[in-house]
Structure 1
Amino acid sequence: MARTTGSDGARTEEAIRSAAIELIAARGFEATTLREIAEKVGVQPGTIYRYFPSKAQLLVELLVEHLEFLLEQWALQRPATDDPVEALRAFVDFHVRSHTLRRREVFVANMELRSLAPADRRRVVSLRRRYEDLLTGILRDGVERGAFQLPDARIATFAILAMLTGVGAWYREGGRLGKRDLIDMYTRMVMQCAGAATVPA
């Protein structure tokens, strides 16, 4: 008999989300079934419908949760400074830490946007754009203050995010570089990309 997660609805929902992320990251959305997710959690397949009306809606909620997590955590962790260089340094630190801790969520969010219905895709893309806007705002502020030299802050945003987000695909704990060393190295490269007047050693 399959084990159960107990009567705690919040714990069951979180277990469903966690199992879905693990399976979708490993096999892809189309190849993952709700029955497989239920088996991994230890509940009957019908239980999932108490929390998510469809597999498509489950995917939407996973992507929305990931992006809302990034937005909410940055709002909490953003330094109280008007120095764009310090703001950019903090953003790099935040992004790398978040994307190495939540590697499966990052992978699913990047790879499965294609699996969303048009209306759901617009919802997720809107949240992604809000996150991109955070970095664009920092870069534009730095250009206006003379701290950065950039021909186009928006294009620089895409280039920097592509570089930073890619770390989640290859970084492993216990490798040649510790996370602090990695963040320092990425900070230096991002500052160079932004044309910062002073690049940290």
Structure 2
Amino acid sequence: MPSSVQRKRIRKTPAARHAEIVVAAATVALSEGLECVTLRRIGEELGVRPGLISHYFPSAEDLVAEAFGSAASAELDTLLPAERPDGTPTQHLARFFAHAAGEAYDDISRLWINARHLSRYRPVLRDRVAEQEAAWRGRLEGLIRQGVEREEFRTDDPYVTTIQILVVLDGLGAHANTDTSDRPEAVTRMAVTTAERGLGLPSGALTRPVDASTGPCAPSGTGSTAGRNTGPAGGRGTGPAAGAHGADPAAASSSTPS
């Protein structure tokens, strides 16, 4: 005889529901593209009516921007954590390059390319892209300045060196949609070589084995294992400056939902 007891439906708090929607949207953005982030599509993903999604995001444009911001912030926190474990600036920078290479990050590279293209026509997304670029610049410049203060790095202008590194990474990552398996090592190492030269480090200083204390950490936010082929891609931190040099990265990455 079937049970007549019905399961009690648990109502989620507004904060929990908001976070759930953003995570689902970021996942769809990474796997299918920002064009697929619609109120109906995310409603289907969560098994709810589109009206519930629109209650939290009246405009689909807001949801698209939030999806991108969530995924991009999770990537930044994975590769350049604001709170770094014990280790030297050189070790942290070497860790960054070690985990910003390889096929594990292709999807996030494609997402950056996608976001920069769509941001030409979508002001809300354009603002979010600018925030994430500022966050990348601020976080990487902060690490470089720390290295200069500790006399590990030598550069007359940490901001300029930061931009040079990001420009090379962007150029390499722009090819995430193409087969780069035949690239010479000298090309794949261009970002590392640029950093070593710009920071007065000997060749190979940023490709030595990474110390265990600065080892890899799991991506947060979207739960995705996707990423990039040759480093942070699609204009990360190389667009027009969103403020003074060394802008507060925490403020710049405020798009990440709590």
Contact 2:153 2:200 in 1 (8 A): yes
- Higher relative CO (CA 8 A, sep ≥ 6), structure 1 or 2? 2
Deviations 1:141-176 (A, max 9, x none): 233333333231112112211211333321467823
Residue from 138, 149, 154 that aligns with 1:133: 138
Equivalent in the alignment of 1:194: 198
For structure 2, the 5+ residue unaligned runs are 1-16, 208-258
Deviations 1:38-87 (A, max 9, x none): 79969976575356321211222122202320243232895521x22222
For structure 1, the 5+ residue unaligned runs are 1-8
Is 1:75 the counterpart of 2:81 in the alignment? yes
Partner SS, residue 100 of structure 2 = helix
User: How many residues in Structure 1 have an aligned counterpart in Structure 2?
Assistant: 183
> Which stretch shifts more, 32-41 or 150-159?
32-41
Q: CA 1:139–1:16 in structure 2 vs 1: closer, same or farther (change >3 Å)?
A: closer
Aligned-residue sequence identity (percent) comes to 23
Deviations 1:5-48 (A, max 9, x none): xxxx8888655544455344xxxx6xx79489579969976575
Which of the two has greater helix per residue? 1
Take 1:35 and 1:161, find their aligned partners in 2: how far apart are those partners? 34
Q: What is the letter of the counterpart of residue 116 of structure 2?
A: N
With the length of structure 1 as denominator, give the TM-score of the two structures: 0.64
Q: CA 1:149–1:17 in structure 2 vs 1: closer, same or farther (change >3 Å)?
A: closer
Contact 1:64 1:124 in 2 (8 A): yes
- Deviation, structure 1 residue 140: 1.7
Contact 2:37 2:64 in 1 (8 A): no
- Deviation, structure 1 residue 131: 2.7
With the length of structure 2 as denominator, give the TM-score of the two structures: 0.52
